[in-house]
Amino acid sequence: MIDQNIKIAVDAIVFGYEKGTLYVLAVQQRFGKLADRWVLPGGFILNDEPLLMAVERELKEEAGITVNYLEQLGTFGDDINRDERFRVISVAYFALVNPKNFVLKADTDAKDAKWFPITEIPQLGYDHNAMVNLAHQRLKSKLTYQPIGFDLLDQEFLFSDLENLYCSILERDIDRRNFRKKILSFGIVIETDKVVKMGASGRPGKLFTFDKTKYNQLLKGNFQFDISFA
């Protein structure tokens, strides 16, 4: 018989984006050794619960949100003294959400839930800062070869929103004309006939949407989404 004394948890790195700033969701622990400490949302999985479902449940429970995109990031198991009672191995998930769609709502386990700008993440409990760093890298690289930026935006967005998202997350300037040309050349972003007046001054712009169906069709061929600029 195997005498493992190890428990399995899931944790999520949830990214949100708003007005040029990238945020990560953290929750404040209510109980335990690390009470009051900020950590990533997550928790132990149930015996008969698939991993993905566990993440979704925890996100609902601890922050009241449902994400747009969720994928496994990696498993962190070498922080052996995370908990004194037993070793904890945590499967980390990478998630994207549009913060406008939800009001954060801390629930039973969490005392509070809050968006931290990626540049101002406090010291988190466990090895959660390492997870955030890895997820941040993943976000940056994935943005260039998969159309996941749309999961951070409203369903209808201005072209400048998309452009600013890329600029701020990749931390570099992008030529507006080349960017627009390239994105439109894929045929997966379509122009609606809605025109929106900016709150501020400036010429009104058209709203665009991401055509996911079209994207999935293209994937069956050998289309490769790719945004990379000097």
Dump the DSSP string for 40-73. Answer: -SEEEPPTT--HHHHHHHHHHHHH----SEEEEE
* 3-state SS track over 100-139: HHCCCCCCCCEEEEEEEEHHHCCCCCCCHHHHHHHHHHHH
Handedness of CA 123, 125, 129, 135 (dihedral sign): negative
The answer to whether the Cα torsion of 141, 153, 192, 204 is positive or negative is negative
Question: Is the CB of residue 71 less than 8 Å from the CB of residue 151?
Answer: no
Q: Is 108 in the site for its own copies (CB under 8 A)?
A: no
The answer to the question of residue 30 lying near its own copies (CB under 8 A) is no
* Residue 84 contact among its own copies, DNA, none, beta carbon within 5 to 8 Å by kind: none
User: How far apart are CB 32 and its own copies at their closest, in Å?
Assistant: 12
Work out which of 30, 57, 60, 87 binds its own copies, going by CB under 8 A.
87
User: Which of the choices DNA, its own copies, none does residue 6 contact, using the CB cut-off of 5 to 8 A by kind?
Assistant: its own copies
User: Quick one: which of 27, 45, 96, 153 contacts its own copies (CB under 8 A)?
Assistant: 45
Q: What is the dihedral of CA 31, 34, 40, 41, to 10 degrees?
A: -10
Binding partner of 105, given DNA, its own copies, none, CB within 5-8 angstroms per partner class? none
Tell me the C-alpha distance between 56 and 42, whole Å: 9
Binding range to DNA, per CB under 7 A, among 16-24, 69-77, 103-111, 170-178:
170-178
Question: Closest distance between its own copies and the C-beta of residue 125, in Å?
Answer: 17
Q: Which of 38, 36, 43 is nearest to 60 (CA)?
A: 43
Cα three-residue angle 138-165-196, rounded to 5 degrees: 150
Binding of its own copies at residue 216 (CB under 8 A)? no
The residue range among 19-27, 42-50, 99-107, 202-210 that interacts with its own copies, by the rule CB under 8 A, is 42-50
**What's the CA gap between 143 and 162, in Å, rounded?**
11
Residue whose CB is less far from its own copies, 26 or 45: 45
Min. distance of Cβ 50 from its own copies in angstroms?
Answer: 4
Q: Which residues bind its own copies (CB under 8 A)?
A: 2-8, 44-45, 47-48, 50-52, 72, 74-75, 77-78, 80, 87, 89, 91
Q: Which residues bind DNA (CB under 7 A)?
A: 158-160, 175-178, 180-182, 195, 197-198, 200-206, 226, 228-230
